[in-house]
């Protein structure tokens, strides 16, 4: 199946970091090709984030939608479900609101999309000093060999090499919801994120397990769809053991659907 950017929605998760979201949205403006829309999946941010999105939407090059629910703890899976339910693209690019995009990010994902597969992208880690500089400048101005950059190889934009990359094929290793892509039909078929998983950790791996159980193959994207991860404090991980148990159950029982998922929000 061949798609274009006109078939693609960009879904960005955020929570109370409008300075970072502003930089991310500037990197969306700088894309060589645009998605059909951008949908902000907001896990309960305050007024400053809402005001930022209103300002950006007035001049944004594509429709910019704000999907919000109240702050009742870390409910990333639920807000992503709500945002994806409203998205109209056949293909969904998913990232976090602290991932600043290379100008070829959308085009790279679109070129890499294949039927029957979901895509796991990578990230370039910036340290605190580089992050502060990016926030002050309103954009990332570093290159792969700059000080304060980790995972440097992930900063190389060399699309001709992307087809040569293999990497992990299981649902767990190096699975990060900050840079992923799915067919909307596949997400609906497995009922999206498992909303019984709350608190940080494993919501993305558990979804990946059900996608794979349903026959959707993982494909790793490297040397394209480059994204720079802004530094922040590590989130509380007190829910990780409980959430990992949900992931293990999905693997053990070969689950393809969750009980509480996107079906609640799809019109």
Which residue from 258, 199, 201, 247 is spatially nearest to 75, judged by alpha carbons? 199
Rounded Cα–Cα distance for residues 189 and 39 (Å): 21
CB 191 within 8 A of CB 263: yes
Q: DSSP letters along 51-76, please?
A: HHHHHHHHH-SS-EEEEE---SS--H
The pLDDT value recorded for residue 51 is: 98
The pLDDT value recorded for residue 2 is: 61
Q: Where are the domains of the chain?
A: 5-264
Rounded Cα–Cα distance for residues 193 and 205 (Å): 10
What backbone phi and psi angles, to 5 degrees, belong to 186? Answer: -70, -40
Q: In what order do the strands lie in the sheet with 149-150?
A: 99-101, 227-229, 124-126, 149-150
The pLDDT value recorded for residue 247 is: 97
Residue recorded with tokens 């026959």: 215
pLDDT tens, residue by residue, 40-73 = 999 999 999 999 999 999 999 999 999 999 999 9
The pLDDT value recorded for residue 163 is: 85
- CATH fold of 5-264, please? Spore Coat Polysaccharide Biosynthesis Protein SpsA; Chain A (3.90.550)
pLDDT tens, residue by residue, 163-198 = 888 899 999 999 999 999 999 999 999 999 999 999
Q: Which residues of the chain have pLDDT under 50?
A: none
């Amino acid at each position: 199946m061949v798609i274009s950017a006109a078939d693609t929605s960009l879904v960005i998760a955020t929570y109370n970091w409008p300075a970072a979201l502003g930089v991310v949205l500037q990197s969306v403006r700088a894309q060589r090709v645009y998605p059909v829309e951008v949908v902000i999946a907001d896990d309960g941010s305050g007024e400053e984030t809402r005001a930022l999105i209103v300002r950006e939407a007035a001049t944004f090059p594509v429709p910019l939608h704000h999907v919000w629910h109240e702050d009742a703890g870390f409910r990333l899976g639920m807000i992503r479900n709500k945002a994806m339910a409203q998205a109209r693209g056949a293909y969904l690019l998913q990232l976090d609101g602290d991932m600043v995009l290379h100008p070829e990010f959308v085009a790279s994902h679109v070129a890499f999309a294949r039927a029957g597969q979901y895509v796991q992208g990578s990230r370039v880690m910036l340290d605190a000093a580089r992050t502060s500089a990016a926030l002050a400048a309103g954009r990332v101005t570093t290159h792969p060999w700059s000080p304060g950059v980790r995972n440097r190889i992930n900063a190389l934009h060399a699309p001709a090499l992307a087809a040569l990359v293999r990497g992990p094929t299981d649902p767990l290793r190096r699975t990060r919801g900050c840079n992923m892509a799915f067919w909307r039909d596949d997400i609906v078929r497995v009922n999206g994120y498992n909303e019984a998983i709350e608190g940080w950790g494993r919501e993305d791996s558990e979804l990946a397990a059900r996608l794979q159980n349903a026959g959707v193959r993982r494909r790793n994207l490297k040397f394209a769809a480059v994204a720079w991860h802004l530094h922040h404090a590590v989130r509380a991980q007190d829910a990780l053991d409980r959430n990992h148990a949900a992931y293990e159950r999905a693997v053990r029982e070969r689950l393809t659907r969750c009980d509480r998922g996107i079906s609640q929000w799809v019109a």
